[in-house]
Amino acid sequence: MAMLSPFDAAVGGDVPFVARRLFGSVRLHFSEGRERASRLVSARLGQCRLTRLNADAHLVDGSSVRIDGGRPDMIKLILQTRGLSRFHQADCDLTVGPKALVIYDPAYSYRLENPMPVEVLMLQVPRETLPRALAARLRRPLAAPLVPGGLQAVLLSMMQTTFAELDRLDAAGRDSLGRAMAELTRTIVAGCAGAEAQADAPPLALLFDRMKAYVTENVRRADLDAADIARRMGCSVRYVYKAFAAEGTTPADFIWEQRLATAAEALRSRPVRPGSIADIAFEFGFASSAHFSRLFRQRYDTTPSQWREAAA
């Protein structure tokens, strides 16, 4: 990708051409003569780029965006401090305005309809800023509401202050600001993705029934834990703990309870032979036969061998 200058500016009919140079093969469509009121200012902040666009009504066509023949290597964040617009990508339609940041991946086709004059702040951050799973989440856009005192509001304030101080920032200052904005973006995306997963999670009672069945089916696995359950259920680890807490237990306690119950049944039903208690202990994930015997006695008030003798 060709190096861009630290500062770029354009007015009127030059704005669509500079926008293509900065953002790839994106097209800005104005009604006849309306592009004359447009003004664009852009600054490179280390690996990030911050841009402000003032423009009359227009349409942004981001279908099949390419930069130097390849997919865009930047994630994009936009917020409008003036005017309201509609953002379309995949099966999502989001309002772009002063109440929420919209974060999206321009590698996937999009369209931004601006039916009125707008002032838009745009931040581009390197794709590698986000872990791969979060970057994949941006196949669909995210809306991050601006809450007073929240990270989104902090990021917006940084963006606005940067433009006010742009002429006085040296290269080191721009680079430092870019790193800070990229880190804030990463944290915001992670928080929004986690909140969506939480909102999409099933009711606790139904989820707990699914968790119980999963634990029962996988009770022999030594790596069975809350994180594994969360991955399987498609929810957060915190939500897993919440579901178990509603039943008066924890994931770890429930797993060990199920291991003990299944091991106790195995002691009753399997033939007696030397070493069979130790075999059962290891089969159900206990660290040793002593560990198994200690927990077994705490639960059933008898030893595994006494339990088996009583069953016989």
- Has this prediction a pTM greater than 0.85? no
SS (H, E, C) 130-177: CCHHHHHHCCCCEEEECCCCCHHHHHHHHHHHHHHHHHHCCHHHHHHH
In a domain, 60, yes or no: yes
Same domain, 147 and 253: no
Same domain, 106 and 231: no
Same domain, 306 and 169: no
Residue 53's pLDDT is what? 96
In a domain, 283, yes or no: yes
Q: Residue 283 belongs to a domain with what CATH number?
A: 1.10.10.60
Residue 103's pLDDT is what? 94
Same domain, 96 and 155: yes
In a domain, 87, yes or no: yes
According to DSSP, the β-strands at 118-126 and 48-55 are antiparallel
SS (H, E, C) 69-107: CECCCEEEEEEEEECCEEEEECCEEEEEECCEEEEECCC
Instruction: Among 138, 165, 200, identify where a domain stops.
Output: 200
Same domain, 33 and 107: yes
Q: Is 200 left (phi over 0), alpha (psi -120 to 50) or beta?
A: alpha
Residue 266's pLDDT is what? 87
Residue 310's pLDDT is what? 77
Domain count, the chain: 2
Question: Using an 8 Å Cβ cutoff, are 48 and 62 in contact?
Answer: no
In a domain, 2, yes or no: no
Same domain, 209 and 119: no
Structure tokens at 27: 């097209």
In a domain, 111, yes or no: yes
In whole angstroms, give the CA distance from residue 189 to residue 14: 33
Owning domain of residue 226: 204-311
Same domain, 76 and 18: yes
In whole angstroms, give the CA distance from residue 145 to residue 100: 4
Same domain, 161 and 212: no
Instruction: Among 167, 200, 233, identify where a domain stops.
Output: 200
Same domain, 35 and 23: yes
pLDDT in tens, 115-139: 999 999 999 999 988 888 788 888 8
Same domain, 103 and 180: yes
In a domain, 97, yes or no: yes
Regions in the chain scoring below 70 on pLDDT: 1-5, 67-72, 194-202, 274, 311-312
Same domain, 196 and 208: no
Length of the chain equals 312
In a domain, 135, yes or no: yes
Same domain, 170 and 216: no
Question: Using an 8 Å Cβ cutoff, are 307 and 296 in contact?
Answer: yes
Q: Residue 47 belongs to a domain with what CATH number?
A: 2.60.120.10
Residue 198's pLDDT is what? 53
Instruction: Among 200, 223, 249, identify where a domain stops.
Output: 200
Going 157 to 162 to 163 to 164, the CA torsion angle's sign is positive
In a domain, 1, yes or no: no
